[in-house]
Amino acid sequence: MAGGRGLHAEMPLKVVAIGGGTGLAALLRALKPEAGRTRDPWRLTGIVTVSDDGGSSGRLRDELGGIPPGDLRNCLSALTREESVLSDLLNYRFRSDGSLSGHSLGNLMLHALADLTGDWVRAIRQLSNVLVTVGRLYPSTVVPVVLRAEDMEGRRYTGETHVNSAKPPLALFWAEPLDAEPLPEAILAILQADLILFAPGSLYTSTIASLLIAELREAVARTGAPVLYIANLMTEPGESSGMDMEAHIAAIQAFAHVALSAVIANTAPLPDALLRRYRAEGGVPLVPDAGRICGVPIFSYPLLDPEAEMVRHHPVLLNRAIRDVIATL
């Protein structure tokens, strides 16, 4: 463990990225060049939220049990050395009138491997070998967990889909069972890390959700490594409506019980057409209004992918920003 001092991007850093959904996949894609380089590669570990109860993942969870595979699949795809036909195959989604409609082939493959091996960690490792990925990937727990929340007006919500539509900010947020255990490999990676990154994504149900696993949260609090939050580009209708940068940071620090070392935020303006579309749906840009918020230094860069049809972090720009901030830690 580096203790958070004297870091340099050219060092073989041990880096842990925590989150879920498309946000963690985007962060891992940005970090992949550092983990895949020939000289002094970073030792990259992704820890993935597994509380999804909607779509293909939710259906498989209901029908087959186990943890939802969708976010794991997204992250495996992001970590493939060459995103080609294999990653396309992993993300292929059936479109038909039958029972397979809406299912991703990669979700089915992960469930099949977990069934064959009797072990989700082995299933992920075996599929990683087939895909030739860089880094390591672990679920936050292999116990099926259910998210629960209470808003400021006392209304309660059960399940990720319903929490996503709760009125923010949340007063209470927890995962059941309360004693869900993380994997020892994930805990060890956190305790040995030189740098911990919280991924962008749905504020509560992706970024914070993994940190509701008590032992995992405690490991993050115990490590001496700096903890960076990659801020969202936009608020999310429902989940973070009306929440500014300060509210995002306050929520993470409150529920994660950890002090952030820094936040990396976007300053690039959205194209007018994209901005109108997102505003029509209730989203607004998440823009820092100070160089320090909640006592946390804010590092601002143009991070928007100008070619994407949706608001997304550009992997090269995000990579550069992370490397730049590392030099200050």
* Those residues with Cβ within 8 angstroms of residue 114's Cβ, 6 or more apart along the chain or in another chain: 66, 120, 123
The partner residues of 133 in beta bridges, in order of sequence, read 80
* pLDDT confidence of residue 63: 73
Q: What is the pLDDT along the chain (329 residues), one digit of tens a residue?
A: 444 456 888 889 999 999 998 999 999 999 999 999 999 999 999 999 999 886 766 677 777 778 888 899 999 999 998 767 777 888 888 887 767 776 788 888 898 999 999 999 999 999 999 888 999 999 999 999 999 999 999 999 999 999 998 999 999 999 999 999 999 999 999 999 999 999 999 999 999 999 999 999 999 999 999 999 999 999 999 899 999 999 999 999 999 898 999 999 999 999 999 999 999 999 999 999 889 999 999 999 999 998 888 999 999 999 999 999 999 98
pTM: 0.94
Token digits of residue 176: 């059941």
Q: What is the amino acid identity at position 327?
A: A
SS3 88: helix
Residue ranges of domains in the chain: 14-326
* pLDDT confidence of residue 103: 74
E-strand stretches of 49-134: none
Q: What is the amino acid identity at position 12?
A: P
Helical packing angle, 105-117 and 120-131, nearest 10°: 130
Residues 253 and 247 sit within 8 Å (Cβ to Cβ): no
Q: Which fold has domain 14-326?
A: Rossmann fold (3.40.50)
Tell me the pairing of strands 136-139 and 43-48.
Answer: parallel
Residues 252 and 288 sit within 8 Å (Cβ to Cβ): no
Residues 56 and 70 sit within 8 Å (Cβ to Cβ): yes
